Amino acid sequence: MFLGVPDFSQVIERIDYLSVKREYERVKSLIDKYAWDIRDYLEPHQLYVATLNMAKEYGPICSESMATVVENVDIMAAVDLSMDIEDLARWLREARSKGFGGYKVLSTLFLTSLDDERIEVILDEADSHGLPVVVHGGCDPGIWELPAYCKYGDPSKLAPLIRNHRDAKIVIAHAGGYSAIAPGVFIEETLELARRFDNVYVDTSALPPYMAARVALTFPRVIYGSDYPVVVKDRITQSALRYAEEVLITLMLMGAPKSKIRRFTYETAEEVFNLECKTAMELRGF
């Protein structure tokens, strides 16, 4: 299921390379200690180039997602957080009228904290119509692996807004743990949110299989996700099917009951996205 990525190229243009370099120098000792095996990738020049490349690579994904039809699922509208409040409110209403089934928020790409007033406008619309909002949790490739930029993906900032929007279904993507340097970066913060608010869900997209299985066992209200084709195409997992097998086998080896696996793989998704999943036999026409 594609959720789409909004155009964030204008944000990239505002990013100062010297600021990226200063932040790298500030946390270099931590990188050397905890991410020494990928520190070449984390040098400021490499991060900056990766950021520029990501803006180019995500363009086709965004275009494809807008045209992708997923049976029984209304695609989430990816929100451009650079808009002013009035334009954003108008855009959200238009997206709903066009049949989009909710909203996706990538606050990291717009250097916007999750307690920003624009996020509140999104939750207002979702709350009024019982729509889901998928919120990116954690870092992103490129400069967003550095703490000064990754902080925009901290889901704990949502807490004051969630308290006033209890009818909005809020899904924290990646269980707040998206990061190459520190997988699981905001998982504890996300778990606290999910325990406090019964309208908070998480998905396991882009998490390593063992971590996805652990989240499925630990968190309430978990949705299976892969992030394919963006993440699940590496030399280990190679395909969305192989990734799913790794996650589910790990989950079964951990002793997960069948009821837990059903909730994880499809029942919670049915609840959040108001759909009815089909079995493989049904999809084949039997």
With cut-offs at 50, 70 and 90, classify the pLDDT of residue 222.
very high
Q: What is the DSSP string of the chain?
A: --------HHHHHH--HHHHHHHHHHHHHHHHHH-GGGTTTTSHHHHHHHHHHHHHHHHHHHHHHHH--BTTBPPPEEP-TTS-HHHHHHHHHHHHHTT--SEEE-TGGGT--TTSHHHHHHHHHHHHHT-EEEEEEE--SGGGGSHHHHGGG-GGGGHHHHHT-TTSEEEEEEEEEE-SSSTTTTHHHHHHHHHH-TTEEEE-TTS-HHHHHHHHHHSSSEE----TTTSS-STTT-SHHHHHHHHHHHHHHTT--HHHHHIIIIIHHHHHHT--PPPHHHHTT-
CA distances in angstroms from 126 to 74, 99, 167, 255, listed in the order given: 14, 13, 8, 36
Task: Report the pLDDT value the prediction gives residue 7, as an integer from 0 to 100.
Answer: 82
Contact between 121 and 89 under an 8 Å Cβ cutoff? The reply is yes
Residue at 270: amino acid letter: E
Contact between 102 and 130 under an 8 Å Cβ cutoff? The reply is no
| Buried/exposed code over 105-116 (b: 16+ C-beta within 10 A; e: otherwise) | bbbbbbbbebeb
Share of the chain above pLDDT 90, in %: 63
pLDDT tens digits, one per residue of 223-247: 999 887 676 555 444 577 888 999 9
Mind listing the domains of the chain with CATH numbers? Answer: 71-276 (3.20.20.140)
Share of the chain above pLDDT 70, in %: 87
pLDDT tens digits, one per residue of 143-158: 999 999 999 999 999 9
Task: Report the pLDDT value the prediction gives residue 64, as an integer from 0 to 100.
Answer: 47
Which residues does residue 95 pair with via DSSP β-bridges, in sequence order? none
pLDDT surpassing 80 at residue 79: yes
pLDDT surpassing 60 at residue 2: no
pLDDT tens digits, one per residue of 41-68: 889 999 998 898 888 777 555 554 444 4
Beta-carbon contacts of 153 under 8 Å, excluding residues fewer than 6 positions away, are: 107, 108, 114, 136, 137, 138, 139, 140, 144, 176, 178, 185, 186
Q: What mean pLDDT comes out for the span 171-180?
A: 94
Burial of 68 per CB tally in 10 Å (0-12, 13-18, 19+): middle
Q: How far apart are CA 256 and CA 109, in angstroms?
A: 36
pLDDT tens digits, one per residue of 83-132: 999 999 999 999 999 888 899 999 999 999 999 999 999 999 999 998 99
Residue tagged 């837990």 (tokens):
260
Task: Report the pLDDT value the prediction gives residue 111, as an integer from 0 to 100.
Answer: 95
Average pLDDT taken over every residue of the chain: 87
With cut-offs at 50, 70 and 90, classify the pLDDT of residue 190.
very high
Structure tokens at 126: 């979702």
Of the CA atoms within 13 Å of residue 236, those in its CB half-sphere come to 10
Contact between 179 and 185 under an 8 Å Cβ cutoff? The reply is yes
